[in-house]
Amino acid sequence: MGISAEVLALLEDIVSWRRSIHMHPELGFTEQRTSKLVCDALRSFGFDEVLTDFCKAHTAVVGILRTGRPGHVVGLRADMDALPMQDEKDVPYRSQVPGVCHACGHDGHTAALLGAAKYCAAHRDQLCGTIKFVFQPAEEGPAPGGAKYIVESGVLDDVEFMIGGHQSTYASVGQVLVKSGIACAGGHAFKLTLTGVGTHAISPQDGSDVISTAMQIIDSWQSMLSRQIDPQQPVVLSVCSIHAGEMGATNVLPSTAVFSGTIRTFNDPLRESILKKMRQRAESISKFNGCTCMMEEEYQFPVLVNHDAVTQIVKQAAVEVVGPNAVFTVPEPSIGSEDFAQYAQKIPASYFMFGVRNNEKGFVYGGHHPKFDMDEDGLLYDVEIFLHALRYLLPLSDS
């Protein structure tokens, strides 16, 4: 139980990789520097197969470790992209890229998976089967994210099981969260453009008010959720941006308005039906107000469903590492989305959370917060759980 001496010896490298990536964050599908860092590291470990530019997600990297002995093919995944937000931490490894920050821990995920890859390469003679280390771009978007393109490339067609880990500041270092079945919601993004007739603010009757129309549509959508959707089906519909007119204009009613947002459900067909109702209401209200509307939808991620048997293996691995009292089964799925779901649709897979919170050290801010940071000791538990799970997944079932 606990962190082995060999994994503990990886901490300096893991911290170095993580902080280098943290200082030079890159947005989805632009992770050129991060991708090169990963490739260089994998080759330095002795990987003979390092796949690059094999799909539409050009910055994706897959390192393949073949042991030469029969066994399963297992995939391990980390995401590499950052978020479009300012880093407000006062630390030496603060982001050097204005307006871009690793505020969700993907830098740590990448560093931890590199640590696992280094360990496995050094212990190839003690392993069997094949391990594919998947370093994925654009988990945060833009849609459809990097996982879909990696799956479509066929590079994982022979993978029989897959695991991914994600940091959590809801859990302290040394704690692990697992969830079998539905773990995360599926999501769509939407954008609606209203076109009307602009006019002087003192003569609204001469135009068609797109701002008022937008407000009516948004209000109608929210009331729809409480009146036309089964209340036992969780749904979140949020309008996250709205733009109309020029800032400071006080006497002009604009001719266009644009607003956008997201909808999340635990049921993909339900989400499709809600989007249809949203279009119908928007078109009806727009026509009534003398406007026209165009609604664009962007499929983001499907519902993430963790495979029961693989989740049990992850849980057993976590118990071996942190003990039974530090492994928690999450009772309810998250309304957040995660494009690991793309892998889980094709491959028996499980996605777990490992703690990086440390109140005493001040690591308390959640993901997507401008002061997000992590206790890097938590990354060792991610590595160790990967390694313990591999010991169960790699051998042939009849061995």
Instruction: Give catalytic residues, as residue numbers.
Output: 299, 376
DSSP 8-class letter at 83: B
Q: How far is CA 96 from CA 24, 86, 112, 316, 363, in A?
A: 6, 10, 22, 40, 20
**Residues pairing with 363 in the sheet:** 358
137 preceded by a cis bond (ω within 30 of 0): no
Number of neighbouring beta carbons within 10 Å of residue 398: 4
Entry field: residues in the chain: 399
CB 139 within 8 A of CB 145: yes
d(CA 107, CA 16): 11
**Residues pairing with 195 in the sheet:** 256, 292
d(CA 373, CA 361): 10
- 96: helix, strand or coil: coil
Helical ranges in the chain per DSSP H? 5-8, 11-23, 32-45, 106-122, 146-153, 210-227, 268-288, 308-322, 341-346, 378-393
CB 381 within 8 A of CB 314: no
CB 318 within 8 A of CB 385: yes
Backbone angles phi, psi at 128, to 5 degrees: -135, 170
Q: Encode burial over 221-249: b for 16+ CB neighbours within 10 A, e otherwise.
A: beebbeeebeeeebbebebeeeebbeeee
The single residue listed with the structure tokens 């697992």 is: 178
Burial class (CB in 10 A: 0-12, 13-18, 19+), 195: middle
